Amino acid sequence: MTRSPFLVDVSDLLGRDVPARSVVIEVVVDWALEMSRILADPTLVANLSIGPVPGGILVRGEVCYAVEHACRRCLIDFVDDGCSPVAGLFETDPGEDAYPIDGTTIDLESFLRDETLLGLPLLPICKESCEGVVTTPEMGLNTDSPGDSDATGSPFAVLRDLLPPED
C-alpha cells in the first residue's frame, strides 16, 4: 500500500517545547474550481514549517503551483503561476477552525487543498485589457460583426419585415 505524500508524522512535536521543522511536499494534484484547475506539470510544491503550539500543531508556509484558468470575459484558457501563503492549526480535538491530528500523524491534503483553492480568483481575467466576447452592445455573442446590426440597434428590428406595410 502506497503512503500518501500528504501524511506527516508529528510524534516528535506533540506536547513538546521544540523548534518547528521544515517539510517540503511535491505532488501532482487534481484540484479545481469552476473556472480554474491546478496543473499536473509542474507539480504543486508546498514549503512548510510545522511546529508545536499548546493543544496542537501549527503549519505555515507557501504553496506554489501552475494553474489553468478560463477567462471570465473572453472564455479563452490561459496558464498562470501562483504561490499562496498558507497557515493552519491541527488539533487532537479540532473545532471549526482546525484540522484533526490522527494519533501522531497529520494529513495535509485537505488543508493544502482548501488554502490553495481559496487563493485562486473566482472570476479570472486573462489580462486587464481583455475586451471579452462582446465588444459593443450592438454585437451578438460571437455571431454578428459590429457592421451587421440594424441602424436602430434593436435585436427585434428584423421583425418589422414580417408586418404588412403601413399606408
Give pLDDT tens digits for 51-64.
Answer: 999 989 999 999 99
Domain ranges of the chain: 7-118, 134-167
Place of cell 454578428: 144
Higher pLDDT: 96 or 155? It is 96
* pLDDT beyond 90 at 86: yes
Reply yes or no on whether the pLDDT at 92 is more than 90: no
113-122: average pLDDT = 92
**Its pTM surpasses 0.85:** no
pLDDT at 40: 92
Q: Which of the residue ranges 95-104, 129-138, 144-153 has the most confident prediction, judged by mean pLDDT? A: 95-104
Q: What is the pLDDT of residues 21-41, one digit of tens each?
A: 999 999 999 999 999 999 999
Question: Which runs of consecutive H residues, i.e. helices, occur in the chain?
Answer: 109-118
User: Left, alpha or beta for 95 (phi > 0: left; psi -120 to 50: alpha)?
Assistant: beta
